[in-house]
Amino acid sequence: MATGRTHRPATRSRGIPEATVARLPLYLRALTALSERSVPTVSSEELAAAAGVNSAKLRKDFSYLGSYGTRGVGYDVEYLVYQISRELGLTQDWPVVIVGIGNLGAALANYGGFASRGFRVAALIDADPAMAGKPVAGIAVQHTDELESIITGNGVSIGVIATPAGAAQQVCDRLVAAGVTSILNFAPTVLSVPEGVDVRKVDLSIELQILAFHEQRKAGEGERVALPIEGGDLEPSPGGSRGTEGERVALPIEGGAQAGPMARAGQDTGAAAGGRQQGPDGDVPAVMPA
């Protein structure tokens, strides 16, 4: 990239690679855990192990943020926590609305993760009139009719969609029209949004299917067992489609493609195996500032 002449590039180069951005939260979590244990500094090797990546990748990632480490020593934990938080935009408060308070929506609302680290549940919205007024996670559910006023009134720019697939696009359109520019979609649907709007998708069924793919490969080590499927024909059935298919579906939950912290690549072991980074009782969830 840059000539690399100055040993302090520019604090923040213009573009941080997406892959790096996706890992910053992992580093932040590991760092916060260290911070809680009052660990003052950490080496790239140690931090990488705690985050489940290898040290070369971590150093490269940090190099995009600037030179925050000290050669021969490592990184100052507190300082890095601040820098990464700032880079991720977590030093400010982000009001979030959750639309669709079913099982999943309620679980999300109850999840502590929202309350901490810059995210605040500004409102819970559901289309069922019977839900209106009911408290979930200490917050009264509001009816969909109020969606627009809630968004504009609270300056919400991030929305979470946890509705059934059939309602997702409609909800999405309304959120966007009201001013939301980032959406976390749990519904198993591809959402269409105008340019400038960010959508991330979380799809459980997709994750399970990816696991099934690898699981199958393990099982059929060297041999491929093809068991008969109920109703499955090798050739396309000319008849109707319905029948066996039933409803497709799925709870959403997915992201992209990374194949997990470890696993298949035998060598990745180095990073993970290298250390039992987690403490016996879990690695500490984390910590972060309110």
40-79: contacts with DNA (CB under 7 A): 43-45, 53-57, 59-60, 62-63, 67-75
Residue 249: CB partners within 8 Å, gap ≥ 6?
A: 165, 188, 205
Which among 27, 187, 10, 161 is positioned nearest to 100, based on CA atoms?
161
Tell me the Cα Rg of the chain. 23
**Which one, of 69, 18, 65, 17, lies nearest residue 42 by Cα?**
69
Query: Which tokens sit at 212?
Result: 């099934």
Alpha-carbon distance 202 to 208, whole Å? 12
Query: Is 192 one of the binding residues for its own copies (CB under 8 A)?
Result: yes
User: Of residues 204, 272, 283, 284, which one binds DNA by CB under 7 A?
Assistant: 272
- Within 60-79, the residues that bind its own copies by CB under 8 A are 76-79
Query: Of DNA, its own copies, none, which one sits near residue 43, judging by CB under 5 to 8 A according to partner kind?
Result: DNA
Interacting partner of 196 out of DNA, its own copies, none (Cβ under 5 to 8 A depending on kind): its own copies
Q: Out of 42, 51, 150, 176, point to the residue binding its own copies (CB under 8 A).
A: 51
Would you give the binding string for DNA spanning residues 239-258, x where CB under 7 A is met? ------------------x-
Identify residue 6 by its one-letter amino acid code: T
List contacts with DNA (CB under 7 A): 1-4, 7, 9, 17-20, 43-45, 53-57, 59-60, 62-63, 67-75, 257, 268, 272-275, 277, 288-290
